[in-house]
Structure 1
Amino acid sequence: MNASRESRLILLCGLPGSGKTTLAKRLADEVPAVRLCPDEWMASLGIDLFDEQARDRLERRFWEHAQDLLRLGQSVILEFGFWARSERDEKRSRARALGVAVELRYLAAPIDELCRRLEARNGKGEPGTVPISRELLEEYAKLFQAPDDDELALFDEPSPG
C-alpha cells in the first residue's frame, strides 16, 4: 500500500545548537507533521542522552513508527541530526519506496554561533538538552558529514514553511 502523496518525510540535519528542534516544532504545526525527537524522549524516560545504545534502539523504533505513519498518509519529522550521508541516503530511499516525498533540511552555523546558542540553551535547562562544551562540539564537527549541493539535489523541495 502506498502512502498519500501529501505525506512527507522531513529529515533535520545539523549539529547541536543548529536549530533543529526550533524548526521541527514550527514545521510540526505548519505541515502538519508528527515530530520524533530522540533527545526529548530519552530525557523524559530518564535515559542518559549520551547512552548511544539506547539512542540507537530508540531511533530504530522511531523509524519503524515513522514508516507506519507515512503509510497512513501522515507526514513525519525526524530530529536525528543525520550526521552521516549513509543515514540520509537510507531514509530517503526507504521513504521513496513508500511513495512519499522526502525533504532534507540542513541547518548550518559556524562553530562560534553554535557555541553561543548552546551556552544560552544550557542556562535554561530545557528538557532534552545536556551541556555540550566547545571541545565536544569541535569533536562532533569532525565527525559530521555536511550535505553538499549534489546530495541536497537528491531530495524533494521543502514544502512551504
Structure 2
Amino acid sequence: MSERRPRLVLICGLPGAGKTTLAKRLEREMPAARLCPDERLAETGFSRFDEAARARIERDQWVHAQDLLTAGSSVVLENGFWERGERDEKRLRARELGAEVELRYLAVPLAELQRRIAVRNREPGSVVLTAEMLREWQGGFEAPTQDELDLFDPPMP
C-alpha cells in the first residue's frame, strides 16, 4: 500500500463564504495543519485591516506551510485567495515540493454573504463588516474559472 502524498488545500472565497467552517472540518478529516491569517492577526493584536501585518503573516504562514509539506504533512490555507496569480504561485510551488494541490472555491451569492455577515456582526467580539465592504471586495475578487479549477487535483473523497 502506497503512502498518501502531502496535500495543500487553498480555501478561496469572500468573507462570509464559509472558509473557516470548511477549513476546520478539513483540518480534522484529512488531518492537516490549518493556517488562518485572520486568527493570527487577532492573536497578535493586529487589526484585520492592517494590510502590512496581514502580508507579513501570510508570508510567514506560507513559509511554514512549505516546511510542513516538505516534511510530508498536509496543510489547509485559509487566506481567501482572491487573485489568480497567488493561487497559481501556491499551486506551482506545492507541486515542486511533491504535494497534491486542491482549490476549494466557495461561490456564495452577494445577498447570502451579506446575510451571513450581518449575523456574524452581532456575535460578541466580531470584526464588523458592512454590505458596502462586501460589494467593494466582490469587485476586486477574481473568481476561479473552470479552466483554472481543472489545473488542481480533485478534492479528496
TM-score (norm 2): 0.96
Report how far residue 41 of structure 1 moved: 0.9
1:1-161 superposed matches below 5 A: 5-125=4-124, 129-160=126-157
- Mapped to 2, the partners of 1:119 and 1:125 lie a distance apart of 13
Indicate if the aligned counterparts of 2:5 and 2:98 stay in contact, CA closer than 8 A.
no
- Mapped to 2, the partners of 1:64 and 1:28 lie a distance apart of 19
- Mapped to 2, the partners of 1:113 and 1:144 lie a distance apart of 16
Indicate if the aligned counterparts of 1:13 and 1:82 stay in contact, CA closer than 8 A.
yes
- Mapped to 1, the partners of 2:39 and 2:121 lie a distance apart of 15
Report how far residue 5 of structure 1 moved: 4.2
Indicate if the aligned counterparts of 1:5 and 1:99 stay in contact, CA closer than 8 A.
no
User: Pairwise CA RMSD of aligned residues?
Assistant: 1.0
SS in 2 for 1:10: strand
- Percent identity, please: 60
SS in 2 for 1:124: coil
- Mapped to 1, the partners of 2:38 and 2:32 lie a distance apart of 18
Report how far residue 122 of structure 1 moved: 1.3
Deviation digits for residues 12-38 of structure 1 (CA, Å, limit 9, x no counterpart): 000000000000000000000000001
- Mapped to 1, the partners of 2:94 and 2:131 lie a distance apart of 35
- Mapped to 2, the partners of 1:20 and 1:138 lie a distance apart of 18
Runs of 4+ in structure 1 off by over 2 angstroms are: none
Q: Which runs of 5+ in 1 are unaligned?
A: none
Report how far residue 44 of structure 1 moved: 1.4
2:22 maps to amino acid: L
TM-score (norm 1): 0.94
Indicate if the aligned counterparts of 1:7 and 1:74 stay in contact, CA closer than 8 A.
yes
Indicate if the aligned counterparts of 2:6 and 2:99 stay in contact, CA closer than 8 A.
yes
- Mapped to 2, the partners of 1:146 and 1:21 lie a distance apart of 18
- Mapped to 2, the partners of 1:121 and 1:155 lie a distance apart of 31
- Mapped to 2, the partners of 1:82 and 1:120 lie a distance apart of 23
- Mapped to 1, the partners of 2:35 and 2:105 lie a distance apart of 17
Q: Which runs of 5+ in 2 are unaligned?
A: none
